[in-house]
Each structure stands twice: as structure tokens, then as C-alpha cells.
Structure 1
Amino acid sequence: MSLFYNMFTITLMISAPIIIAALGGLFSERSGVVNIALDGIMLVGAFVTAAVVVVLDPSGANSKTAILIGLAAGTLAGMVFSLLHAYASIDLNADQTVSGTALNLLAAGITVYLCQIFFNQQRTPAFIRGITRIDVPVLKDIPVLGEMFFKQVHPTFYLTIVLVFVTWYVVFKTPFGLRMRSCGEFPQASASMGINVRRMRYFGVLVSGALAGLAGGVMVLTQDVQFTVVTVHGFGFIAIAALIFGKWNPFGVLGAGMFFGFSQTLGFYAKDIPFLATLPTEFFSMFPYVLTIIALVIFAGKSVGPKASGEIYDTGKR
């Protein structure tokens, strides 16, 4: 039973950045812009977060303050970086897939380049400690559930749950969310009702950038001890898969993110599970990504996203 509890705790840790980034993608796509640059934005957010933590807290004496400032900086960096995608796809009418791909490539190069400039190496120095696990008083004593959700869990998971509910409320329960969703379904009709489609789409992309930057920061501070170019290792693309798998709904994204997080965790603990221990370790290294492809093949055709997502907004179209 202890093996299950340990696996579940790691699953929550790994799922958090996937879910946060996927929620960012939800805002972008609900406004009508496909953002496949989530992986690159996560990379930028991870670099900025790690760099700020290293610079502000070389001794580890006041790590909580450094971590909070680092996460805020990573969030802001993700938002600023996503401006490139917003400008290219909204103002220049560029193909959104090409723009997102370009940002992914740019992120890998620019983060390594900045590491060379600031730290004279292709990575940041290791920080002494990142986000530490916590026990929630009283709740940790609840049978079974206490062990799973409230004992030795990273607080970033609770932040993720809050973001899921906030996203659900903003997108589905507010007039602003209704206007944003209308821009992702039929922007011409939205414009005829006086809605500024350009502004709504900028909002969606910038929020997606902020959340993806935060996801990158969360990932580097919970799953690593320094930033490298492989810190994110494709989690942004898994977040996109979770968004599709979750049918562009915050609670669906939560379940899909947990599913993909567990698939990653399974690789870590395979050697401790008798009927899996005989399989090659390489199998479990590729397992999450193979599972992502399989999930997309099975469910992508059944998942219907916003109708105008990915389409260039043409004011003359009827």
C-alpha cells in the first residue's frame, strides 16, 4: 500500500505543470488561437524561474521568498514570450501552427544562449532546494485520502486545483467568458455584437503564456535542481494532448493531466512492480509519449474543439 501512496504523491507532482499549461491552452483556444508553443513557453518560464531563484538565493537562507519571486518572474516571462505568438497570429495573420513551432525552436535556443551569457554554461547553477512538500494539519489524518492528497504533497498541486476552479468559473460562468468563447466559435458574429475579437484573442494568448510560464517554473522547482534545455522534455505537448483529451473543459483537463502524470510515474516505479520489472527501462521512458499518441488517435476525432480555433480572423467572412 505504501508503494501506491508514493506513486500517487509523485503523480500529483508531475500532473501539476501539465494541468496548469493545459489550462493556459484552454484560454487560448477558447478565444480562437491554437497555441502549440506551450512547450517553448514552459521552457522560458522554467529558465527565468530557476535563474531568479539562483540569483536571489545563492545560500538558500530565504528560499521561500526567492521561490515566490521566481515563479512570478517565470509567469511574467511566459506572458511576454507569448506576445510574439499573439502578434504573429492575430495582427500579422500568420499560420498559428507555424508561429507556435517557431516559438518552440526559439525558446530552446534563447534559453541556452542566455545560460551561456549569465552563467558561462548551458544550464543554471543548481539551487539548494526548490518547492518542498508539506503536510496539511488535520486533513492528513483522514484515512486513505489523507495519505493520498494531504501528506507530503507539493503545495503546487493545491494551486493547480484552485486554477481549475477559477478557469471553470471565468470561462463558463461569467459574461466575459461567454464573449471569449464566442470569439472561438464564430468571431464574425461576436464582432457584429460589438465584441472586440482582437482584444479577446490577445487576452487568451497572454493568459496561456502566463500559465505556461508558471507551469515551467513549477516543473523546474519540483522535479529538478537546476534548469537545462531538457527540463521540460515535451511536457508542453503532453499538456496540449491533455487539453484535447479533456475536451477543452477544465475538469476534463484535470482528469487527463492526472492520467498522463500517472503514466510518467509508472516508469519510475516499474522496477518495484513484479510483472513490470522484467521489461526494459527504455520502454517506460517512452511510455508517457506513446500513451499521448494513442490517446490522441483514439479520442482526438471524438473531441470537438472551438470551431474557429486555428482560423485566421477575417472581418469580411460571413
Structure 2
Amino acid sequence: MGTLIDFLHRAILQCIPLLFGSTGEIITEKSGNLNLGIPGIMYIGGMSGVIGAFFYENSLADKSDANGFLAVIIPLLTCILGSLIAGCIYSFLTVTLRANQNVTGLALTTFGTGFGNFFGGSLIKITGADVPSVALTTTSNFFRTSLPFADKLGLFGKLFLSYGFLAYAAIIIAIFASWFLNKTRAGLHLRAVGENPATADAAGINVEKTKYLATGIGSIIAGLGGLYYVMDYANGVWSNDGFGDRGWLAIALVIFAIWRPNLSILGSIAFGGLYIVYLYVPGALRTQELYKMIPYIVTIIVLVMVSVRKKKENQGPAALGLSYFREER
């Protein structure tokens, strides 16, 4: 039982960046924008938060004097700003200039990775560290603070109450996104734009505004996944190329969850568990890369099943990835 609880606990820790990324991408895709730049946006969000935390920590004469509110709000705001700018760049290119969404997304991923590595390397040079990483332990401690009574509740406390606030925020955001998309007029307008922008435009819905808002908000949510990874999962340590393929897993999770934010909660936990299952299989360390392929294989299987069954509610938005030309309406 102890091993199972430990496995589930680590799976949840792994799943939070995926949940942030997939929720942000679902909101974006519901507007018809296929943003393959999510991995890059997660890098930008994480590095933007690191920059804010770095300058705040270095402004302190004594790090023990750090203010908890400022230590959290500054990285949060810089993360939100960096992620929003990245989302606006994507929207400007694909919505206003009508550039190809696939190419733009891939370019944004390349740019975001370079952005994170460039500024990560710059901060490492500033600190003069002997190892190629930046440690922001003071800020990380505030992000990783869990409920004070979690340790007293044994296995239950470890499994459900031993996480930082961003972990719970990810779940709340996913639940709220599901409610918003299915139960509100604004959510209906968003889905209408993703299904048929010409009809939505004829009904008086501002297609460009909707796409900009959905992509901007989705980018912010995805960027928070990058911030969580650095400040919580990695204990405040930034290492270049440290994210691995988590951004791509988040995109795969969108298909696995059939574009439903509430299902992405369970899906992200499953993906998080599959990502680390090799640690619990005897002799699997040598073939860990094969085990890390499992989430992608599962996604392909789900995609095939969804395609074969052809249920409308399980399909992606009809206008996903297509630029809207109002003149052709």
C-alpha cells in the first residue's frame, strides 16, 4: 500500500504541468486555433517566472527577510505576462495575418525553447554557478508550502493534501474551464467560433476577438505549467532543456481527453503515472525511453478509436487549424 501511495503521489506531481498545458490548449483549440507552440509557451512562462524570482531574491540583503506575498506574486505576474505575450504573438500571426497555424506553432516552440535556454544561460553566468543551473530555493519554498496538517493525516494527507497551491489551482482551473465551455453563453460562443466561424460571425460573434481571448487565456494557463515545474516540481532549480517532452505530452493529452478539461484531470494523472512507471518496474531503467513512449501510444489508440466511432461530441472542433477569411463568408 505504501508503494502504491508513493506511486500515485509522484504521478500527481508529474501530472500538474500536463494538466495546465492541456487545459490551456483545449481552450485555445475550442476557438479553432491549433497552437503547437504550447511546449515553447511553457518554457517562456517558466523562464519569465524565474527572471522575476531571480531579481526579487537578489534585491534582498538577507533572503530570510523575503516576503511570502511578493515572492509568489512577482513570479506569477512575470509568468503571466511572458505567456500572454507569446499567445498574442501567435494570435497576431495566425488570426490577423492568417499565417499557417502548424508552422507558426512549431516556430513558437522553437523560439520558446531558445528563449528559456538563452536567458537561463545568462542567469547562470550572472550567478557564476559551478553547475549549469539557477537555484531559487527561497521562492520555491513559498510555492511548495503545503497544508500544515497534511503530515499528521498519514497516507491520506500525503496523497491529497501535500501539494503546493499551484497543483490545486490546476484542478480548479480545469473544472472551471469545463463548466465555462459547457454551461455559459460565452463558452457557447467560443465553441461556435471553433466549429463554424462564418456562422458565428453571421450571428454577431466577434471571431477575431474570441480567438485572441481564447489563445491568450490558454497561453497563460499553459505558462503556469512551466512555472509550476520550476518552482514546485524542480524545487526552484532551472536547468536548460529540463522540461523534456512534457509540452508535447500536454498536446497529446488534449486528444486523449477528447477536448474535455474535466477528463484531462484523470488523463493527466494517467499520463503522469505512465511517465514514471519505469521507476517501479524491476530492470526497466535501461529501457526507460520505451516506457516513456507509452502515453503517445495510448494517445494514438484513442485517436483511432475516436475516428472510427465518429461521434460528434468526441471530435475536435470542425474548423480547428483553419484560418478564417471573412471575405469568403
The Cα of 1:283 is off from its aligned counterpart by 2.0
Q: Which of residues 68, 83, 92 is equivalent to 1:87?
A: 92
Q: Distance in 1 between matches of 2:152 and 2:30?
A: 37
Q: Deviations over 1:214-247 (max 9, x none)?
A: 1100111122232222122121110111111001
CA contact (8 A) 1:32 1:183 kept: yes
Partner of 2:102: 97
Q: Indicate the larger mover: 221-230 or 190-199.
A: 221-230
How has the CA–CA distance of structure 1 residues 317 and 145 changed in structure 2, closer, same or farther, with 3 Å as cutoff?
Answer: farther
Runs of 5+ consecutive residues of structure 2 not aligned to the other structure: 307-313
Secondary structure of the equivalent of 1:233?
A: coil
Partner of 1:173: 183
Q: Which of residues 301, 304, 309 is equivalent to 2:320?
A: 309
Output the TM-score relative to the length of structure 1.
Answer: 0.89
Q: Distance in 2 between matches of 1:257 and 1:190?
A: 32
Secondary structure of the equivalent of 1:300?
A: helix
Q: Deviations over 1:54-105 (max 9, x none)?
A: 2212454226331332122112211111211111111111110100000111
How has the CA–CA distance of structure 1 residues 247 and 139 changed in structure 2, closer, same or farther, with 3 Å as cutoff?
Answer: farther
Runs of 5+ consecutive residues of structure 1 not aligned to the other structure: 271-275
Q: Which of residues 123, 142, 146 is equivalent to 1:134?
A: 146
CA contact (8 A) 1:46 1:74 kept: yes
Partner of 2:197: 187
How has the CA–CA distance of structure 1 residues 154 and 138 changed in structure 2, closer, same or farther, with 3 Å as cutoff?
Answer: closer
Amino acid at match of 2:16: A
Q: Which of residues 105, 111, 115 is equivalent to 1:110?
A: 115
Q: Distance in 2 between matches of 1:181 and 1:53?
A: 37
Task: Report the structure, 1 or 2, having the larger helix content.
Answer: 2
Query: What is the identity percentage for the equivalent residue pairs of Structure 1 and Structure 2?
Result: 21
Partner of 2:245: 234
Q: Distance in 2 between matches of 1:138 and 1:48?
A: 31
Q: Deviations over 1:271-291 (max 9, x none)?
A: xxxxx2123x14224523x11
How has the CA–CA distance of structure 1 residues 117 and 147 changed in structure 2, closer, same or farther, with 3 Å as cutoff?
Answer: closer
How has the CA–CA distance of structure 1 residues 95 and 132 changed in structure 2, closer, same or farther, with 3 Å as cutoff?
Answer: same
CA contact (8 A) 1:57 1:63 kept: no
Q: Indicate the larger mover: 225-234 or 108-117.
A: 108-117
Secondary structure of the equivalent of 1:253?
A: helix
Partner of 2:288: 284
The Cα of 1:314 is off from its aligned counterpart by 2.1
Q: Indicate the larger mover: 68-77 or 190-199.
A: 68-77
Output the TM-score relative to the length of structure 2.
Answer: 0.86
The reply on whether 1:294 has 2:301 as its aligned counterpart is: no
The Cα of 1:138 is off from its aligned counterpart by 8.2
Q: Which of residues 213, 228, 232 is equivalent to 1:218?
A: 228
The reply on whether 1:263 has 2:274 as its aligned counterpart is: yes
Secondary structure of the equivalent of 1:25?
A: helix
- Alignment length, in residue pairs? 308
Please give the residue correspondences for 1:36-51 in structure 2 after superposition, counting only pairs within 5 Å.
36-51=36-51
Q: Indicate the larger mover: 126-135 or 37-46.
A: 126-135
Q: Which of residues 156, 171, 181 is equivalent to 2:166?
A: 156
Secondary structure of the equivalent of 1:191?
A: helix
Root-mean-square deviation (Å):
2.3
